[in-house]
Structure 1
């Protein structure tokens, strides 16, 4: 290792398999950095996987002139959430700000698709500096920049319009999986061409788009690692399943394999998350597995398992879900019995596939709504008001409980989708086996983004209808909410009495101590 920088060389163990600046990076982090969050104030002690990551990513190679330089210009890390990726990224960037010997006047960038996400790594770095007596003595921490001598560490994001004209020596790009394009990535990587040994860290959890820019970068990394592609400047590491791999997302051994920090994580948190999260969400965030945005909403076969032979009786207490249209689509009316969260289709009007001029028979729909409101005890009619405002206003004016629920509201659809998914997974929801509803649920796909998960069509112009699925979500979510708001209710169907031809009063189904309630 003749000619190697002596400051770097003295950190390399004698039995090291190859020379690496990563040993110095690791030792510097443990000497000067402190943890944040739940472990705030504690010295940064690298986990084995973190130290190995640094050693491998900062491998040194001799160039044609015999000079030792970093082999890699880019390190791509695909890792599940909760493994401390923001913390390690912040510590690495502080090393480049203060201790990097490859550049004298360094420009360090914390970047992400939006400014709030970009600030997560930057704010972690600020906390590390403030917690470290030695770093705080030499660094000037300001709101949007950390300065060390003539070097700076600042935040940029795709939505801030400040990414052009930069000349970064080191970059951390966070959560690239949720970027719709490569504009920010290109601006940052192309802007560092004049630097001596620039280093870009792309650290992200997998996302809902296996065709997106981060997924393509990971695919390239896999090909580099396999030898299929020759790119000596790209380092790639992932613990998650590859695109298309089939793993049991409920298996603790899979959780452990996909989370390198699993030994310090809470296994009970994983057990709770796998129950309350959608399968797609769990695979993305806890396994770092790319899941196509058009993944089916419910696990295969689950909806069929929830079918029950049953009929809705007059007087049953229900919440109605209504998703209307007026042409070329379908309109759906679904009831959810409040007592047991059993779903029944009350009305469905769908455009024939070969009739582009079809119109919803609005009079028939109104008749079905009025019939349902007359026959059943309707606790709430939860309806998307689009194009049906007048009908819904008239019903509300007549004294019926109507709740407008715009299905294009992410703040409302995301928790509703989650609540119904949980009810399906827990077996609390059952249904009447209506084949059209099953088809619409099969057509529904899950869209995942930074806001959360909700069901939608596979693409906007798709003729695969999902309106029954949407109406079902409105009905079930409404029933769940009504039950939570009325924890002591007794179902109207149980308390209802009726007379036969002789005038006898029936109380069948009442508890024994309530049998005399209607004697008078």
Structure 2
């Protein structure tokens, strides 16, 4: 057995506990010698040892169990990444695959790319169906997303989150949280076990999760608006809807390269691209199921084999097939007039979308937005980073080549924008007036 950490101090925190864990009978029966960095048993045939950042020394170890201690501190600069990889290989090579690894950690600091963050991302990717389920079991006592850092919440939340760490003094922790010298993000991370947002994150996990309503879903016949963000291969392609009646946002579809797609070096490699016919089918199904009042589609910048814009033919087809049913048109006049084509590279559209980003964030923070908990949309929202442009704060990926997609976040914001546009449009107000005619009967 190995107790692994990136410093001896971290391993010591665990090793010193063994003296109180073993009974006198166990110490005698198994000849256990505690109180050392290496604890021997069975006359040296078995041992528990503390190991630190030396991946080369760990290579090939035939452990049956490895404890990874405080993995939020395991980062690339202290060899934490390589150490975790070595431990994983050792466990994989064990007889009959019987070895197990167990990691304990505090809430990680987003953006540090710690082993704890990588593990959480891998678990959530499998949960969302974006990656193979490799058998990661993840358990975390975290405060509910709606929990506030105010005195009425603190005692109950802290009692639940500390679990069996009964030595933690709740009144003392409350004082620390209410101390204005401690930023809320730190209190949420260390005492609420919530993963706070990265410094440039657009939205924190708990802020988005607080708006989840699993009891709500789109129903056939609902009046909705839809926003489409197109790509060919590198980014994801997404389609999101927003219900007019209550503003519920939901993902209708997302297409991105499968995690197990062959690399370019693979013999017979074929590049992956978004299956446009599948997307077309989802769009057609949406117009069959729902009453779509507006549908804007950003074509992206990808090209097909003929050098044509990858999505233009489909956008034209959608405009011709559904344009007459829409209450709003994407471009109303001029040579670029189109029922659905709304190019986000246009400066006027960039300004409009930047305002939509601002309004959507306000709606989330004020709990004026509801969503159905779609896991990929959640991931894309969490991945979004604040980016400054000529009109204010918009969103973007952490960097151009990042594999962390944000396309469903763009679709969600675009759908909320369309709902506001429809609600404020003269056509909708006229339609509501006509639809609202009738006789009022007052019951006494």
TM band (smaller chain) = 0.3 to 0.5
TM-score by length of 1: 0.37
Larger Rg: 1
